[in-house]
């Protein structure tokens, strides 16, 4: 049986490689989304042992949640998995705004329950702070939903350090999700240590740095999409990062896995990071991500890979 870990102090136990569902049904974020491929990808995830699915309203304006609910209903597997989802956005013809009011969050949970075809959500995040609602009041609303049994754990995402501390005023925050990878490790200075001290689990998104840490790019073949405008994909910084990534090939070969698997395994070796949630657009990508579980890195391996990117 695969190793399962507890997400912080939540009582939720999962295998460490979850499933980031940001491409599932996400017509508003990606082009050429094929929903039948999304369904097959979810089925492959369940079949391969994935038991943690991370979604959000903004992933397809609820469509990601609906497809997850559909497949879990079809397979009868709801009780076998942990579902996380998020809300904060209101999308109208005039644009997008954020709302963390207790009323909005309460309604968002009720609507997500229907989309997911379930009567409880394991982990519910405030997706972004709205800059208006006092953070502790927003989290307090989720605490009431937790006490009512509609959610099992409380998360916040994309909160600054100060906003996180305000949100955790009553020690209700169970999980923090934010942008982190080996090439932008700034959160190791404050947020990750704070989570460790508070018993909060930290779940990184973009741990592969938008593909930079996968080994699929070369010095002469940088990405030509939106990523080319990001600092880590430009000039000497890009060349330096590619050289560092390539140097991981020997360790990857030793474990019979990919460079991306080594990066994910290293990320899991950081205190307070219990799980990672790489995305997948296809069944093949699900299986590739799952191979991370084969990379049994020592603490020395983890330290050496992290030091490489300092």
* 89-92 vs 95-98, strand pairing mode: antiparallel
Tokens of 183: 């090439």
Q: What percent of the chain has pLDDT over 70?
A: 100
Inside any domain, residue 156? yes
Q: How far apart are CA 267 and CA 297, in angstroms?
A: 11
Choose among 254, 274, 252: nearest CA to 262. 252
The pLDDT of residue 235: 87
Inside any domain, residue 133? yes
Count of residues in the chain: 310
Give yes or no: 238 in active site. no
Q: How far apart are CA 109 and CA 81, in angstroms?
A: 18
CATH value at residue 179: 3.20.20.100
Under DSSP, is residue 123 helix (H, G, I), strand (E, B) or coil?
strand
Inside any domain, residue 65? yes
**Per-residue pLDDT band at 229 (split at 50, 70, 90):** confident
The pLDDT of residue 305: 97
pLDDT at 304 over 60: yes
**Per-residue pLDDT band at 231 (split at 50, 70, 90):** confident
Inside any domain, residue 254? no
The pLDDT of residue 159: 98
Inside any domain, residue 244? no
Number of domains the chain is built from: 1
Tokens of 256: 């019979």
Tens-place pLDDT, residues 103-118: 999 999 999 999 999 9
Q: How far apart are CA 142 and CA 144, in angstroms?
A: 5
Mean pLDDT of the chain: 95
Could you tell me the residue range of the domain that residue 160 belongs to? 5-209+271-298
pLDDT (average), residues 152-173: 98
The pLDDT of residue 220: 83
Inside any domain, residue 103? yes
pLDDT at 1 over 70: no
Please tell me the pTM assigned to this model. 0.95
**Per-residue pLDDT band at 8 (split at 50, 70, 90):** very high
Which candidate in 59, 125, 180, 205 is catalytic? 59
User: In Å, what is the CA distance from 58 to each residue of 52, 147, 158, 163, 271?
Assistant: 18, 26, 14, 22, 29
- Helices within the chain (DSSP H only): 35-48, 63-75, 102-116, 135-147, 161-167, 191-198, 235-246, 249-255, 259-268, 283-290, 299-308
**Per-residue pLDDT band at 223 (split at 50, 70, 90):** confident
């Amino acid at each position: 049986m695969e190793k399962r870990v507890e997400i912080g102090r939540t009582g939720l136990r999962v295998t460490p490689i979850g499933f980031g569902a940001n491409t599932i049904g996400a017509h508003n974020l990606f082009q050429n989304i094929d929903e039948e491929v999304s369904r097959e990808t979810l089925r492959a995830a369940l079949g391969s042992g994935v038991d943690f699915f991370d979604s959000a309203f903004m992933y397809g304006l609820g469509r990601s949640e609906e497809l997850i609910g559909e497949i879990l209903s079809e397979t009868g597997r709801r009780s076998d998995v942990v579902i996380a989802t998020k809300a904060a956005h209101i999308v109208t013809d005039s644009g997008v705004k954020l709302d963390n009011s207790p009323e909005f969050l309460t309604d968002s949970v009720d609507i997500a329950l229907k989309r997911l075809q379930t009567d409880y959500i394991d982990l519910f995040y405030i997706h972004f702070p709205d800059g208006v609602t006092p953070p502790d009041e927003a989290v307090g609303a989720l605490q009431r939903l937790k006490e009512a049994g509609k959610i099992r754990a409380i998360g916040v995402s994309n909160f600054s350090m100060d906003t996180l501390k305000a949100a955790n005023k009553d020690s209700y925050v169970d999980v923090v999700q934010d942008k982190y990878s080996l090439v932008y490790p700034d959160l190791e200075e404050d947020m990750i240590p704070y989570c460790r001290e508070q018993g909060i689990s930290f779940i990184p998104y973009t741990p592969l740095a938008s593909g930079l840490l996968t080994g699929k790019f070369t010095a002469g073949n940088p990405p030509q999409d939106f990523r080319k405008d990001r600092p880590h994909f430009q000039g000497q910084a890009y060349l330096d990062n590619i050289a560092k990534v390539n140097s991981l090939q020997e360790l990857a070969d030793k474990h019979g896995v990919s460079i991306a698997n080594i990066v994910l395994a290293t990320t899991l070796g950081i205190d307070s990071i219990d799980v990672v949630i790489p995305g997948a657009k296809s069944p093949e990508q699900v299986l590739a991500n799952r191979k991370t579980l084969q990379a049994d890195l020592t603490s020395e391996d983890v330290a050496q890979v992290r030091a490489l990117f300092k």
